[in-house]
Amino acid sequence: MNKEKISPHTVVIFGATGDLAKKKLIPSLYRLYSQGVIDEFPIICVGRKRMSDEAYLKFLDIGKYDKDRKKLKKFVKHLRYIDVDLNKSMCFELAEIVQVFDKKCGCAGNKIFYLALPYFLFGKTIGLIKNCGLLNGRGSKKIAFEKPFGSDLKSAEILHKQIGRFFREEDIYRVDHYLGKELVENIVALRFANSLFEHLWNTDSIDNVQITLAEDIGIENRGGYYDKSGAIRDMVQNHILQLIALVGMEPPKSLNADDIRNEKVKVLKNLRSVRKKDLVIGQYVKDPDSIGYRNEKNVDKKSITESFVAFKTYINNSRWRGVPFYVRTGKRMNKKYSEINIVLKDVTCGIFQRERAKHANVISIRTNPKESVDFLFNAKIPFTRNELKEAVMEFCHKCEFGPNTPEAYETLFHQLLQGNQGLFTRWDEVKASWRFVDNMKRMIKNKRIKLLPYRANSEGPNESFSLLRRDGRNWKNIKRRFAL
Ligand SMILES: NC(=O)c1ccc[n+]([C@@H]2O[C@H](COP(=O)([O-])OP(=O)(O)OC[C@H]3O[C@@H](n4cnc5c(N)ncnc54)[C@H](OP(=O)(O)O)[C@@H]3O)[C@@H](O)[C@H]2O)c1
């Protein structure tokens, strides 16, 4: 992998005792360090709990990162843990530590603040960063926010105003880790660097688009957050709408961050609000292997939060006229996978009439469990005259590029440190996404959309199948050989 070395920054991670910092953020920084992309970078880890640096390293389970003890030992020297209660806004120690490290590393005042925190702490944290004098002096000051950015348009707008008092849009990085996934990044290349696909990418050739982000886990220990959020806010507002935007956008003028984001936001603004009959929401109930949603920790026993959503929408422009986008996402489904299926129209001349309906061509982009791009087509079965079989041309990403594809967060940190905003969402995208989601939430409330129970470890409510069936379609189920 070709990664340029980056000039040193002091990285301050707020929420450093959280699940995300432990599983993704610090390990990603280590991988960048071990590849020599970053070296003299201080990483100041801020949590609320009191603990020593040693206890923090134990919490991280840092010994598991690498067998190379020497390298690990060197990396650890760059880490420092400090407890700060963001509600109390006392930060003398933090300010002092940052100053000392900044001088030592020759970071020239360049700083990155990464807020791996619930959104309601964003405002307080920015105030603290400002009051501690961390924005003073020379050098760049970039700030990254984990998703969700607010809980609806109103709260997002308040946040946006608060942040705008101290940071310019070009220094703000709103994280949606789906954008750091290699195959999601690849959508732009697939579409615009291959005449085969770009010529087909419109209403003349495409019958429908299907997006599935299925998780087999429940809500684990995130009940407090999830029960207020639900699948629509947790998955649709960010990951799913970003995927629709990448699949649906017009060719950008260039690969510059703003040219891509200009095109994505047009799609988000042109999305048709979901209609009552085109929306299915569900909540999982127990099966022999798993408890039901309402029995999860920190979930209201009478909760009406959706853990599954499926819907149909359209992009209102000439490229996508009449092409439905079907979406489904849920927790505790029978398997974990994420894929986008571009289902092509049937243009066969009729000589294979009998078999026709079974075999629509599909371009399938899979990000999970294994990354692949596959093309489903019709092949004649040997020794028959007209019997067709579905065949899959598979591009297995790992087989082509090796097993060391960067983790999404590694890519995102790399881009963040380089100051490239292309993989982060701009304010107008966030605004358009919340508008779409708020409309959906309002409709659920006003039109009293029924919350359907579905068995844990199943494919979700049957009604999500009816959503397509009544249009004469089915969710595509592609059987791959290599990228299973
Ligand atoms: N976990 C994931 O895989 C994931 C994926 C995508 C996005 N996200 C987003 O990333 C953010 C963090 O997620 P998480 O799973 O890491 O959450 P988490 O495990 O609940 O951790 C939250 C962090 O916030 C800190 N915190 C809470 N209140 C604080 C206060 N008053 N003062 C100082 N620190 C405080 C906690 O410190 P203490 O532990 O010391 O109290 C902890 O470090 C959330 O916005 C989440 O939506 C997470």
134 C-alpha to ligand 1 centroid (Å)? 22
**pLDDT above 90 covers what percent of the chain?**
82
pLDDT digits (tens, 9 = 90+) for 93-122: 899 999 999 888 889 999 999 999 999 999
pTM of the model: 0.95
Question: How much is the pLDDT for 348?
Answer: 67
Going by alpha carbons, the residue nearest to atom 40 of ligand 1 is 48
Which of the following is catalytic: 239, 359, 397, 414? 239
Look at residue 484 and tell me whether its pLDDT is greater than 60. Answer: no
115 C-alpha to ligand 1 centroid (Å)? 9
- 353 band by pLDDT with thresholds 50, 70 and 90: low
- 358 band by pLDDT with thresholds 50, 70 and 90: low
- Angstrom distance (rounded) from CA 55 to CA 81: 9
139 C-alpha to ligand 1 centroid (Å)? 28
- 5 band by pLDDT with thresholds 50, 70 and 90: confident
- 482 band by pLDDT with thresholds 50, 70 and 90: low
Question: How much is the pLDDT for 399?
Answer: 87
Strand partners, 279: 311
Could you tell which of 23, 24, 48 is best to mutate to test the pocket of ligand 1, judged by most ligand atoms within 8 Å of the CB? 48
Residue 233's nearest CA partner among 293, 181, 184, 281 is 281
Report which ligand 1 atom has the smallest distance to the Cα of 21. 16
- Angstrom distance (rounded) from CA 325 to CA 54: 50
Report which ligand 1 atom has the smallest distance to the Cα of 86. 32
pLDDT digits (tens, 9 = 90+) for 22-65: 999 999 999 999 999 998 899 999 999 999 999 999 999 999 99
Specify whether 9 is catalytic. Answer: no
Question: How much is the pLDDT for 385?
Answer: 79
Question: How much is the pLDDT for 2?
Answer: 57
Q: At what angle do helices 122-131 and 153-164 cross, to 10 degrees?
A: 10
Question: How much is the pLDDT for 458?
Answer: 97
Report which ligand 1 atom has the smallest distance to the Cα of 119. 45
Phi/psi class of residue 174: alpha, beta or left (left: φ > 0; alpha: ψ in -120 to 50)? beta
Look at residue 357 and tell me whether its pLDDT is greater than 80. Answer: no
Other C-beta atoms within 10 Å of 24: how many?
19
The helix/strand/coil state of 382 is coil
Look at residue 417 and tell me whether its pLDDT is greater than 60. Answer: yes
Look at residue 183 and tell me whether its pLDDT is greater than 80. Answer: yes
In this structure, the residues whose C-beta lies within 6 A of any atom of ligand 1 are: 15-21, 47-49, 85-87, 116-118, 121, 146-148, 177
Mean pLDDT of the chain: 93
| Residue 304 CA: distances (Å) to CA of 187, 284, 445, 482 | 35, 11, 11, 40
Question: How much is the pLDDT for 287?
Answer: 95
Report which ligand 1 atom has the smallest distance to the Cα of 84. 33
Question: How much is the pLDDT for 233?
Answer: 97
Cβ atoms of 467 and 312 closer than 8 Å: yes
Question: How much is the pLDDT for 459?
Answer: 97
Going by alpha carbons, the residue nearest to atom 35 of ligand 1 is 48
| Residue 378 CA: distances (Å) to CA of 43, 357, 387 | 53, 11, 10
Question: How much is the pLDDT for 174?
Answer: 98
pLDDT digits (tens, 9 = 90+) for 132-180: 999 999 999 999 999 999 999 999 999 999 999 999 999 999 999 999 9
Average pLDDT for 450-468 = 98
Question: How much is the pLDDT for 109?
Answer: 93
Going by alpha carbons, the residue nearest to atom 38 of ligand 1 is 48
More confident position, 89 or 478? 478
Quick one: tokens of 396? 């297995």
Question: How much is the pLDDT for 27?
Answer: 96
Average pLDDT for 464-481 = 93
More confident position, 261 or 406? 261
Residue 355's nearest CA partner among 390, 392, 384, 388 is 388
Going by alpha carbons, the residue nearest to atom 18 of ligand 1 is 18
- Angstrom distance (rounded) from CA 179 to CA 260: 12
157 C-alpha to ligand 1 centroid (Å)? 22
Question: How much is the pLDDT for 351?
Answer: 75
End-to-end distance of the chain based on CA atoms, in angstroms?
25
Positive or negative torsion for Cα 181, 186, 191, 192: positive
- Angstrom distance (rounded) from CA 24 to CA 376: 34
Helices marked H in 326-455 = 397-401, 408-418, 427-446
Question: How much is the pLDDT for 91?
Answer: 83
Going by alpha carbons, the residue nearest to atom 15 of ligand 1 is 19
Going by alpha carbons, the residue nearest to atom 28 of ligand 1 is 48
452 C-alpha to ligand 1 centroid (Å)? 30
Question: How much is the pLDDT for 387?
Answer: 83
Q: Tokens 């699940």: give the residue.
A: 19
225 C-alpha to ligand 1 centroid (Å)? 10
Going by alpha carbons, the residue nearest to atom 41 of ligand 1 is 48
- 342 band by pLDDT with thresholds 50, 70 and 90: very high
Question: How much is the pLDDT for 355?
Answer: 56
Quick one: tokens of 367? 């990000």
HSE (side-chain half, CA atoms, 13 Å) at 91? 24
Could you tell which of 17, 20, 28, 81 is best to mutate to test the pocket of ligand 1, judged by most ligand atoms within 8 Å of the CB? 20
pLDDT digits (tens, 9 = 90+) for 77-92: 999 999 998 887 678 8
Question: How much is the pLDDT for 359?
Answer: 78
172 C-alpha to ligand 1 centroid (Å)? 19
Report which ligand 1 atom has the smallest distance to the Cα of 234. 47
